[in-house]
Amino acid sequence: MQLTPEQQAEIDDLRRQSASTLRVTRPSLEEILYIPVPVLDHGFIRVIDYMGDDAAVVQAARVSYGRGTKKVQDDAGLINYLMRHRHTTPFEMCEIKYHVKLPIFVARQWIRHRTANVNEYSARYSILDKEYYIPAPGQLAAQSSANRQGRGAVLEGEEAARVLDILKGDAERTYGHYEEMLNQDSGGSVLDDGRSGLARELARMNLTLNTYTQWYWKIDLHNLLHFLSLRADPHAQYEIRAYADAMMDLLRRWVPLTAAAFEDYRMGGAALSAKALDVVRRRLRGEDVRQADSGMSAREWRELMAVLGLE
């Protein structure tokens, strides 16, 4: 990811500004406020603004005048309790706003989370940058034979080279046609041949889905945790997981107690069905329980055995 001199100057100018405030701030998040965190080849995510911290969660849970308690372990204990018992409303009291640059196909997957406020870069009014995502060799995988949404073995040799050539060639060609239809050169200047060019809202339509777009995305902490529980999961598509992993690092800077509870009870924990819990109890009593007499499907059984480390 490379920033233009203008973009870097804008960030530097923002970071030179300072304001006295009575609001809560997080020094560890202030350190990287406005600064882009690189993701994929040309993408980034950066925090633009935020409201609240761990103490705001505690304050909302107790509906008190204070910011929390004098003992961090007491706040941590309450946050753990809220996370453990899924009392989510206090987490809605905190909000964060990101600026994200991401491939269009990732954005279309991301936007399925309808619990945020979004404003996307408009290709009706502006011209999209000549930047598109090309997977790293280690992410260039075949379709999984066992999972319709997953990847299988990594492509190698001539096959991998051919796929990369297709991806790059298609992106280059369609962007070239985009410029031609706009009647502009790659620098954004209008060509001097007398043509007015096609409307931007039409010229954009044949660009490849790996073209980068940008948006501002604002969300409360509760819904952010739900997003991360799905997108920072090992089963999530790599490209969106790369953004979620960066957001997890930012979460730890912003609300470290909440992040720790989330990683313990959500990311590192597991929910068991009534039948699965019954199997665990019977096994603890020494019974030799098998899938056939568990009342569980073969898939449910495999998933339970994986959670218990008994595959």
> What's the pLDDT score for residue 3?
82
Please tell me whether the overall predicted TM-score, pTM, comes out greater than 0.85 for this model. yes
The rounded percent of the chain whose pLDDT value lies above 90 is: 74
Whole-angstrom Cα distance, residue 27 to residue 196? 51
Q: Which position among 231, 241, 253, 266 bears the catalytic label?
A: 231
Decide if pLDDT at 288 tops 60.
yes
The model's pLDDT over 184-220, given as tens digits with 9 standing for 90+, comes to: 765 555 555 556 688 999 999 999 999 999 999 999 9
pLDDT in tens, 18-63: 888 888 899 999 999 999 999 999 999 999 999 999 999 999 998 8
Contacts of 35 (CB under 8 A, 6+ apart): 11, 15, 46
Q: Quote the mean pLDDT of the chain.
A: 91
Taking the alpha carbons of 236, 238, 239, 241 in that order, is the dihedral positive or negative?
positive
Asked whether 200 and 124 are in contact (CB, 8 A), the reply is yes
**Whose structure tokens read 């997953």?**
150
Specify the pLDDT at position 93: 96
Residue 63 to residues 83, 89, 90, 93: CA-CA distances in angstroms? Answer: 17, 12, 9, 11
Q: 10 Å Cβ neighbour count for 190?
A: 12
Q: Compute CA distances 68 → 28, 76, 150, 254, 256, whole Å.
A: 19, 10, 44, 16, 14
∠ Cα 192 197 201 (to 5°): 145
- pLDDT value, residue 66: 63
CA angle 166, 143, 171 (to 5 degrees): 20
What is the model's pLDDT at position 69? 57
pLDDT at res. 197: 84
Contact in structure between 131 and 213 (CB atoms under 8 Å): no
User: For 205, how many CA atoms within 13 A lie in the half-sphere containing its CB?
Assistant: 5
Active site residue 16: no
**What's the rounded Cα separation, in Å, for the pair 60 and 24?**
14
